[in-house]
Amino acid sequence: MGVLEHIEPIEKLCKVVSEIDRVFKEYCVVVPCINTVLEPHLKSLRWQLRDYNKKRRIEGVGVNYFSDDAWLKFDGFKDASIKRFWYIPGILLNIMIYKKK
């Protein structure tokens, strides 16, 4: 699964994360890492680290970036583990949030 970065507002994201934990005994969710070099949705370098007022946007598409620690603070991910991995080495860095029995 990999669309959590688009769910807004934050209250809705909290509910979705809790529902993932409620429904699945094991899961793996992939989200873009805040330290990725290239923002994959907008194809822009370090977009997620720019001043909010200077960011290019796609109309109607939100993209949320959280730190590794912040993702694990969602109630539904409290028992999850996290691992960073390069999807495209040196360019696209992702986070895998997972729970195994």
Note the pLDDT of residue 64: 85
Cβ partners under 8 Å of residue 72, min gap 6: 78, 80, 82, 97
Domain count, the chain: 1
Res. 51 pLDDT band, cuts 50 70 90: confident
pLDDT tens, position by position, 67-93:
999 999 999 999 999 999 999 999 999
- Determine the structural domain holding residue 43 and report its residue range: 4-99
pTM for this prediction = 0.86
pLDDT tens, position by position, 18-35:
999 999 999 999 999 999
